[in-house]
A and B are shown apart, each in its own frame.
Chain A
């Protein structure tokens, strides 16, 4: 069963179309990167996945359930790192962990603390006074506290320095190795995600340009070279850029 399944998903805000006819399936234990320029529809897609936005059309299945109807139950199985840190600014990481322990059926307080110590984040400092990178690391540690089956991260490395970015990516890799979670993340950090994602979805103007496994996609681009001197996109970033050129064409 796919951990995430979108069928002909559409979202409209009044007259504006944010998403149209988006179909995407992410099998369990895979890492799917959702790419797109600002305003391409990434955030609407994430909001639908998390049951924060009701689709105007189509269907969403998260771990087999409709997130709009079963949001509370699903959030016990899903970890979320939001784009804008949203934890209460007055509470420290230690207090936030204690609070969430009461919300979730399962909570590994020791693991949360161990992660925060590894991240070098002060446990007692109010969330609102932490740096941007520290806030993201706290949210990541908290998102993993209930050992979710699925992790949804909305641009987790945005605005992070090199060290915090590395810490986020390493922690993700560790989680993948230890527990085999499924991960969906939106990102602008194409170089960072390139080695970790095995599936990519690219949105442009609310529509899906492609959604498929990364390695076969790269293989097709490589195969397109007609002469040894042809410049073909080899990295995810180069593929992304070429998709946004006029008359973009994905090799068949």
Chain B
């Protein structure tokens, strides 16, 4: 997974960085349902982290229904991804909105300008470009 990066200066523990990194790749469709993910051993070597740390992240992803283990074959992104609960969904939307509002305010944007930019970004996203 070349898009996965971890940073010891990140306040999150390394296992959580891996867990959230995979979640984000799946959410952004960089990893599609059914895609294979590296073995614990290979990912640990690539990231040069303790295999126990990768195993912990994978276990949590399997428990959360994001990854699925096929016996003797390896680990894959689950075919049917779990829908976040209403609470999780609201929380993530609020977090993302707060981040964007913070950036816009720092740059001196008005409320109207910030909302308009978001509308444009949404349109771009829907067009798929």
Name A's B-contacting residues (CB within 8 A).
29, 31, 166, 169-170, 173-174, 176-178, 191-192, 194-198, 215, 218-219, 222, 234-236
Contacts and interface: CB of A to CB of B under 8 A. Distances in A.
A176 B8 contact: no
A178 B39 CA distance: 12
Given A195-B8, A195-B14, A235-B9, A176 B50 contact: yes
B41 A195 contact: no
A235 B50 CA distance: 16
Contacts of A176: 44, 50-52
9 contacts: A170-B48, A173-B41, A173-B45, A174-B41, A178-B41, A191-B8, A219-B13, A234-B8, A234-B9
| B interface bracket (residues with beta carbon within 8 Å of A) | 10 to 19
Interface of B: 6, 8-11, 13-14, 40-41, 44-45, 47-53
A229 to B, nearest CB: 15
Contact of B51 (A166, A173, A191, A192): A173
A208 to B, nearest CB: 22
Contacts, number: 54
Given A194-B8, A219-B13, 11 more contacts: A170-B45, A170-B48, A173-B51, A176-B51, A177-B45, A177-B51, A178-B41, A195-B6, A195-B50, A215-B13, A234-B10
B92 to A, nearest CB: 22
Contacts of B8: 191, 194-195, 234-236
A21 B84 CA distance: 52
A170 B41 CA distance: 10
Contacts of B9: 234-235
Given A222-B11, A236-B8, A198 B48 contact: no
B102 to A, nearest CB: 13
Given A195-B6, A234-B11, A235-B9, A173 B52 contact: no
B8 to A, nearest CB: 5
Contact of A177 (B6, B13, B41, B47): B41
B52 A195 contact: no
